[in-house]
Structure 1
């Protein structure tokens, strides 16, 4: 009984020991072996074999230097290199024929209050008094007939010429009667009136006078009769009488134009109409904020027990690559050279491979001159023309009067010392000569009051142009003469006396010398 019990205890202890070992070491069967590693790299090439024996010719071995000089045929020419830089520019081709001219631009605009600009202005009139009665003394002369009046600055009913275009004008008159007559030119622009008288009895006699005046807008010029020493019976004479009054614009003054940098108002006046635009810059900033959320999910693996029969383990990792192979063996000795017998000798090598691409070519030569261009297209219409101007360099005019009642000296230059008009002082009152500043065609005229015989000559640089003589004596009268002359710059013109010197200069009998530019050259 006791032995049986001991056996039972021994078996129980053995079971307990087996159960405890399973809890502490719960391993399954071994896994399968890992995959074999990749093969190792080939070993290094073996050493170069020894040089073969040289070729042998009948009388001995071939010289190695000779063999080295025998090259194979030159390989084919390599590919063409890339194109070189562009050649120098060729000569410019001939100029093409000019295109057709563009259409004329629109006419320039007028300046002022809807009227013609001063440069475009014009003014001329001729009026005739045909009334047989003498004009009343100290009264304006009025007229019955208008020959020309453009654009209407003269009023025949009032006898007034009213200046519309500021500038330089020439006025003259001519009268014919059988009685004595005294007329004078009057104007707002004159400090004194310019009188001329002709005393006559029963014979047709012509009286004339003229002057150059510089006028401003709205100034007036007129002709009036005045009393000097005429007999009272002349006022009642009713025989034919004519008085002709003329005037025309020589040069208009330069208008004073005021330009604004901003805008143009109505009626030709310029005044500022400025506007300023300020740019507004708007900036929009958009901020985008993103959040990336990451999270990890833990995985819990619990093992409650170790089964008695476990699964095989994971296969092992692949093995490491194998080692490099052994170095190759030394190469065999080269074959002997070909025998040189019968005078063949060493042969050239095989034809080489094509060469590499060549370098870029050199810069090409200049190209040939281009062909003539095609005719240009017609130009666009021109812009509106600027208003024309009359520059001071193209203006020349004067009127001067004798400042004394004394006769001038014989064979001497007649000096006119009282200035009425003298543009740019071209007439010198000290020398009595007009010096040409603007080359061109001029007209010179004089009206001389005299009480004795008078002969004057018109000279150009010591050259006699013409002479005028009046041999009537004993009565006051007026003689006149004029001539158009072409002048070059710095040439001089003047009046000169001869043997007869009966020229006067006083308020009731002016002597005036005038000249003005007709056409510049």
Structure 2
């Protein structure tokens, strides 16, 4: 009696069908939607200091992964990785504004501030990227004193957004592997599973292009009249995230290692009795964007700016604060002054060209 023995190709196909059946039982969608986390919420009413601490929200625009609770105003991390947060708050007439982005209830990450108590309304913004572990929480806190408040109405002044920029590579790969096959399982006659970090254009495995940083200052930087001198980059003493190690805190410069489109955002504090003029620079001093405020009052406030830049390998990006007397950047432990950037889309063709001809 003869028995039919499937060929190696058929064995592989049968194994694949079995594997896919297991995956289907877990209801895993393509690219595993569980690796996504993002939210955006707005508030349509004002809030006075002392009534409650955490800023809550009444409209949820996006909540991928359901990690944000608008009723408590709290985001709870489900997937470890680097998250980018941004918020904008309205200033209440004749009240001061002080809103902090807080991690785990006590670690102040960044602040939006306006010390003016004038009649008019305005908005202040802030953004930062932070590294989170599972169960970490992030939310906004309003200064508790009654002299402080935030303003909004049906055209929301108050917004809060956040999203997972780069998941922790180890945990994300583990998540994929746990839903495909046990470690070391290899079906006879089948090719091994594809390394998620393998680029088909290369002959050797390599890590995917990742580049991100987020830093802050806790000290002010005062301009001085010392005659003509070289433009010096604004430096930073707090590092939240530095994926790839492409930002140098000592020099204050980001150096591009992967060509592509990068997003940059910065917020700076205005010093009492001094103007503020901070420029986002590339290379040897090309101005790409700036913030400016020449109000010489004794009050403090923050100014923000952001944009996308197309960078080539070796390009540098940095902040320049006007160094003459009468100008300054203000900050303290509340971290008024922040600077963030990350790779949005790599230029794959340029990267391939660089690897081919170097």
TM-score by length of 2: 0.72
Contact conserved, 1:135 with 1:141, CA < 8 A, in 2? Answer: no
Q: Which secondary structure state, in structure 1, belongs to the residue aligned with residue 244 of structure 2?
A: helix
Contact conserved, 1:118 with 1:165, CA < 8 A, in 2? Answer: no
1:436 aligns with 2:230: no
Picking from 238, 247, 255, the partner of 2:170 is: 255
Q: Which residue of 2 aligns with 1:488?
A: 312
Q: Which secondary structure state, in structure 2, belongs to the residue aligned with residue 255 of structure 1?
A: helix
In the alignment, structure 1 segments of 5+ residues that lack a partner are: 1-104, 275-381
Q: Which secondary structure state, in structure 2, belongs to the residue aligned with residue 425 of structure 1?
A: coil
Higher CA-based Rg? 1
Deviates more, 1:383-392 or 1:477-486: 383-392
Distance of aligned partners of 1:165 and 1:431 in 2 relative to their CA distance in 1, 3 Å threshold: same
Contact conserved, 2:280 with 2:318, CA < 8 A, in 1? Answer: yes
What's the RMSD between the two structures over aligned residues?
3.7
Q: Which residue of 2 aligns with 1:154?
A: 68
Could you tell me how far 1:473 is from its partner in structure 2? 2.9
Q: Which secondary structure state, in structure 1, belongs to the residue aligned with residue 264 of structure 2?
A: strand
Cα distance in 2 between the residues matched to 1:110 and 1:461: 49
Q: Which residue of 2 aligns with 1:510?
A: 336
TM-score by length of 1: 0.51
Q: Which residue of 2 aligns with 1:458?
A: 280
Deviates more, 1:507-516 or 1:181-190: 181-190
Q: Which residue of 2 aligns with 1:424?
A: 244
Could you tell me how far 1:398 is from its partner in structure 2? 0.8
Cα distance in 1 between the residues matched to 2:343 and 2:334: 29
Could you tell me how far 1:383 is from its partner in structure 2? 8.5
Q: Which secondary structure state, in structure 2, belongs to the residue aligned with residue 507 of structure 1?
A: coil
Cα distance in 1 between the residues matched to 2:212 and 2:56: 28
Alignment of 1:211-250 (within 5 A): 211-227=128-144, 232=146, 234=148, 240=153, 242-250=157-165
Contact conserved, 1:446 with 1:511, CA < 8 A, in 2? Answer: yes
Q: Which residue of 1 aligns with 2:203?
A: none
Q: Which residue of 2 aligns with 1:478?
A: 302
Distance of aligned partners of 1:114 and 1:386 in 2 relative to their CA distance in 1, 3 Å threshold: farther
In the alignment, structure 2 segments of 5+ residues that lack a partner are: 1-15, 199-205, 226-230, 348-358
Contact conserved, 2:77 with 2:136, CA < 8 A, in 1? Answer: yes
Alignment of 1:80-479 (within 5 A): 121-134=35-48, 136=50, 139-177=53-91, 178=93, 179-188=95-104, 191-200=107-116, 201-227=118-144, 232=146, 234=148, 240=153, 242-256=157-171, 270=182, 386=194, 388=196, 392-407=207-222, 411-451=231-271, 452-462=274-284, 463-474=286-297, 475-479=299-303
Cα distance in 2 between the residues matched to 1:395 and 1:185: 25
Report Cα offsets for 1:188-226 as digits up to 9, x if no partner.
398544333112321112111111011122221111112
Contact conserved, 1:189 with 1:219, CA < 8 A, in 2? Answer: no
Distance of aligned partners of 1:517 and 1:133 in 2 relative to their CA distance in 1, 3 Å threshold: same
Could you tell me how far 1:394 is from its partner in structure 2? 1.4
Could you tell me how far 1:148 is from its partner in structure 2? 1.4
Identify which of structures 1 and 2 has the higher relative contact order when contacts are C-alpha pairs closer than 8 Å and 6+ apart: 1
Contact conserved, 1:118 with 1:166, CA < 8 A, in 2? Answer: no
Cα distance in 2 between the residues matched to 1:493 and 1:393: 22
Cα distance in 1 between the residues matched to 2:185 and 2:152: 67
How many residues are treated as equivalent by the alignment? 301
Could you tell me how far 1:110 is from its partner in structure 2? 6.2
Report Cα offsets for 1:425-477 as digits up to 9, x if no partner.
21101111001112111011111111231111111102222232112232110
Contact conserved, 1:197 with 1:508, CA < 8 A, in 2? Answer: no
Contact conserved, 2:321 with 2:329, CA < 8 A, in 1? Answer: no
Cα distance in 2 between the residues matched to 1:509 and 1:458: 19
Cα distance in 2 between the residues matched to 1:420 and 1:120: 25
Q: Which structure dedicates a bigger proportion of its chain to strand? A: 2
Distance of aligned partners of 1:424 and 1:435 in 2 relative to their CA distance in 1, 3 Å threshold: same
Report Cα offsets for 1:338-393 as digits up to 9, x if no partner.
xxxxxxxxxxxxxxxxxxxxxxxxxxxxxxxxxxxxxxxxxxxx999858459754
